Amino acid sequence: MRIYIVLMRGINLGNHHKVKMADLRSFLESERFQNVSTYIHSGNIVFTHEGESLEVVSACVRRVLDRHYDFEIPFQLFDLSSWCEMVAFNPFPLHSEELVKRSHVTLLSSIPDMKSVSQLSEIDSKGDQIRWVQRAIYLQCEGAYHQTKFGNNRIEKVLEREATTRTWRTIVKISDLVDRLVVALS
C-alpha cells in the first residue's frame, strides 16, 4: 500500500458542486481505497491504495468521482514522495505566523515549460513574490490573496494547465494527516 494525496478544485463553492466529505470517504472506501481521511470541505484527501503508479491511482479516483457526481471535478494527485518534496521545496521564509498567513502554493497538473513560467513572472506583481519548482508555484502575497495578480485562474490561463491553490496553513494540516498515516503504517 502506498500513500497518496488528492487536492480537488471547484467543489463546495456556495451551492455549486456539492461534495460531502463523509460521502466521498465512503465512496472511496467502497472502491478499495484505505485509511481515507479528509481535511475541511474543499476536497483534501489522504489515503492508501494498492496502485503503484500515479496514472493507475488517478484513473481509480476519476472513476469514483465520475460514478458518483454529475459534474467534472478537477484534482491534483501526489504520491508521498512528490508531496514531501513540494512541502520541503517552499523557497519562502515561514518563521512567523504573518509569513505563513501570506503564503500559498498553486499545484499544477504537469510541469510547465520555461517560456510559460517566464510569461507569468512578467506580470506586475504589486509586491507579491512567486517561485516555480516542478509542479508548484509558490506565492507569498504582500496583501490578501484575493488581491494578488497570481490567482489560480490567472495561473491556469498563463500556464495552460489545470491547477489548484491552497494556503500554506492548509498544506501544513494535510501534511499532519500524512505524517499520522505514515506513523500508523510503520
pLDDT tens digits for 54-100?
Answer: 999 999 999 999 999 989 899 999 999 999 999 999 999 888 888 89
Same fold for the domain at 2-84+172-185 and the one at 87-171? yes
User: Domain locations in the chain?
Assistant: 2-84+172-185, 87-171
Res 33 pLDDT > 90:
yes
Q: What is the mean pLDDT of residues 3-21?
A: 84
Domain topology for 87-171? Alpha-Beta Plaits (3.30.70)
pTM score: 0.91
CATH superfamily label, 2-84+172-185: SP0830-like domains (3.30.70.1280)
C-alpha cell at 113: 515549460
What's the pLDDT tens digit per position in 96-117? 888 899 999 999 999 998 998 8
